Amino acid sequence: MTTALRVEGLTKRFAGMIANDDVNFDLLPGEIHCLFGENGAGKSTLSSCIFGFYRPDRGQIFVSGEPVHVGSPIDAIRHGIGMVHQHFVLVPEFTVLENIIVGTQRSGIGLKAADARKKLSRICESYGIVVDLDAYVWQLPVGRQQWVEILKALYLDARILILDEPTAVLTPGESRILFNIIGEMCARGLSIILITHKLAEVMQSNRVTVLRKGRVVATLKTSETSPDELVRLMVGRDVSFSVAKPALAPGEEVLAVEGLTARGHWGETVLNNISFSVARHEILGIAGVAGNGQKELFEVLCGVRKPDAGAIRLRGEDVAGLTPRALMDRGVGHIPDDRFREGLVPEFSIAENLVLGWQRSPKYRTGLMMDRRAIADLARDMIAQYQIAARDETVAAGKLSGGNAQKVIIAREFLHASGLILANQPTRGLDVGVIEYVQRQLLKKRGEGFAIVLASEELSDLFSLADRIAVMFKGEIMGIVDPRTTTIAEVGVLMAGGREGGRS
Ligand SMILES: Nc1ncnc2c1ncn2[C@@H]1O[C@H](COP(=O)(O)OP(=O)(O)OP(=O)(O)O)[C@@H](O)[C@H]1O
Ligand SMILES: [Mg+2]
């Protein structure tokens, strides 16, 4: 069978490091082929080379058996290749329709607006995709923004579609819809390259290529491999998926929230009468489908959103309405869910990002000057501990792979917090080896006496880490349950808005 796409001997270097090393890869018509590998293994780089975003140093790309030159994304699109990036590249102030046709018209590959609208409506209908073409992108939740990217590729008649961690920003329900549509695309002869860290998704594909430090270590049929084997190939060791949580009696109360209420841009209630408390040595899990108030809850707790009513007490002190700075000074660490927009300054180095917000601390100063050497030493230590894949501590955070950027934020917050950690989706986008490490770190902090609020869409994370789980639905807490006496199914009922049967 002729391959839809073939890559031969592709090598891509960035200053001082090799991101793709002599990669061979092929994609069959109608196939879903996963790229699997640790954070920084070179998956996004390989995709970006295929899509003409990066120019490889060596190697040849073939489309339908013919050698092609892909010098830019426009070339890629002409050859029927589409890509949805790990970090979206939409213009928030434009509508969905404008985002799709802008750029394509100028380069002579798109249609007039009216024709574009017709074509897009037809595509949406045939795949059952629901998106308002006239909505502004800034109004859309991230999951919906992804549909825009996928629509754009279909609109440009992609026959080969590269999806870089598409489900990292989707709820489980949205992920299922995406997989149905991917299946439909394959049935129509499209070929898909899917990048994901989730083993369950890898196992739904036809074949998987495992990358390690830029090299291909294996290409396997998923029907002939297992999650355990894939993880071993990826990290070169066994990863235990269950971390042992020692029994610990909660200590004194650290954070208490009472009757917290907050409204959104249009006056709608986003948090409704939320109450809970977290004590030393305790992890309070927050379960819920994304978009049910978790983000707003964390924003209020870390001081970037003002509550409209209710009390927040930190070790007895009323802190509602304090600035993020004041809360940081009181020992609150915050890992936001949108790491690139809120957590990092892309132009700053890893070292600078690791002390971001703490540059004035005496720890990092000698007299009036920043103590560059102390900061560099610290950064090298963090790079080693968290296995951050980077040449050294001077690399700009914007050049890190998605997972490695996340590690910088986690390292900084774990380093500076003293007492309370607010973690919103901390393991999103991390490879399974690093997830295990972060889970151990959370438990270590719990052991040291921290109080931790941990939101995760992965119920398995919450069941293995949390001492209690609060379930959010439409801005309310539906119930707070004990994971030792509650099943995942019962939590699922609360997540869908059912009430708790009187347990606490
Ligand atoms: N523009 C760039 N400049 C310098 N180095 C880069 C650049 N883009 C990527 N790299 C480096 O290349 C390596 C591979 O990164 P890549 O983004 O391909 O990893 P990945 O497999 O997609 O990881 P993740 O799962 O974390 O997204 C990393 O070490 C990264 O720091
Ligand atoms: Mg990546």
Residues 6+ apart with CB under 8 A from 185: 127, 161, 192
Q: Verify whether ligand 1 is closer than 6 Å to residue 205 (CB atom).
A: no
Q: Is the CB of 399 under 6 A from ligand 1?
A: yes
Q: Which residues are paired to 193 by β-bridges?
A: 33, 162
Tell me how far apart the alpha carbons of residues 53 and 419 are, in angstroms, rounded to a whole number: 44
Distance in Å, CA 40 to ligand 2 centroid: 7
**Residue with the nearest Cα to atom 24 of ligand 1?**
39
Q: According to CATH, where is 3.40.50.300 located in the chain?
A: 5-235, 248-331+418-504
Q: What is the pTM of this model?
A: 0.85
Q: Residue whose CA is closest, atom 1 of ligand 1?
A: 399
Digit-by-digit pLDDT tens for the chain (504 residues) are 799 999 999 999 998 789 999 999 999 999 999 999 999 999 999 999 999 999 999 999 999 999 999 999 999 999 999 999 877 678 888 999 988 887 676 566 666 788 889 999 999 999 988 889 999 988 887 778 888 889 999 999 999 999 999 888 777 778 888 999 999 999 999 999 999 999 999 999 999 999 999 999 999 999 999 998 999 999 877 766 677 888 898 899 999 999 999 998 788 899 999 999 999 999 999 998 878 899 899 999 999 999 999 999 999 999 998 999 999 999 999 998 876 667 889 899 999 999 998 888 888 888 878 888 999 999 999 999 988 988 899 999 988 988 899 899 999 999 999 999 999 989 888 888 888 888 989 999 999 999 999 999 888 889 999 999 999 999 999 999 999 999 888 888 888 887 765 444
**Other C-beta atoms within 10 Å of 146: how many?**
24
Give the list of residues 6+ apart from residue 68 with CB closer than 8 angstroms, or none. Answer: 61, 62, 75, 79
Q: How far apart are CA 58 and CA 12, in angstroms?
A: 7
Mutate to test the pocket of ligand 1, among 163, 387, 401 (most ligand atoms within 8 A of CB): 401
| Residues forming a β-bridge with 335 | 423
CATH superfamily of 5-235: P-loop containing nucleotide triphosphate hydrolases (3.40.50.300)
Hey, what are 182's tokens? 């991917």
- From the CA of 40, the nearest ligand is 1
Q: What is the pLDDT of residue 503?
A: 43
Helices (H), 102-141: 113-127
405: Cβ below 6 Å to ligand 1?
no
Pocket of ligand 1 contains residue 37 by CB under 6 Å: yes
Bridge partners, residue 386, by sequence: none
166 Cβ closer than 6 Å to some ligand 1 atom:
no
Q: What is the pLDDT of residue 105?
A: 64
Nearest to 161 by CA among 143, 188, 141, 137: 188
Tell me how far the alpha carbon of residue 40 lies from the centroid of ligand 1, in angstroms: 5
Q: What is the pLDDT of residue 271?
A: 96
- Minimal-distance CA residue to ligand 1 atom 19: 40
* CATH class of the domain defined by 248-331+418-504: alpha beta
Tokens of 472: 């959010």
Ligand minimally distant from the alpha carbon of residue 86 = 2
Q: Which residues contact 395 (CB under 8 A, 6 or more apart)?
A: 349, 350
Question: Across the strands, what pairs with 194?
Answer: 34, 163
Partners of 6 in the β-ladder:
26, 62
Closest atom of ligand 1 to CA, residue 45: 18
**Which atom of ligand 1 lies nearest, measured to the CA of 15?**
4
Q: Residue 112: what pLDDT?
A: 78
Q: How far apart are CA 409 and CA 322, in angstroms?
A: 22
The answer to whether residues 298 and 336 touch, using CB atoms and an 8 Å cutoff, is: yes
Could you tell me if the CB of 198 is within 6 A of ligand 1? no
Name the closest-CA residue to atom 25, ligand 1. Answer: 39
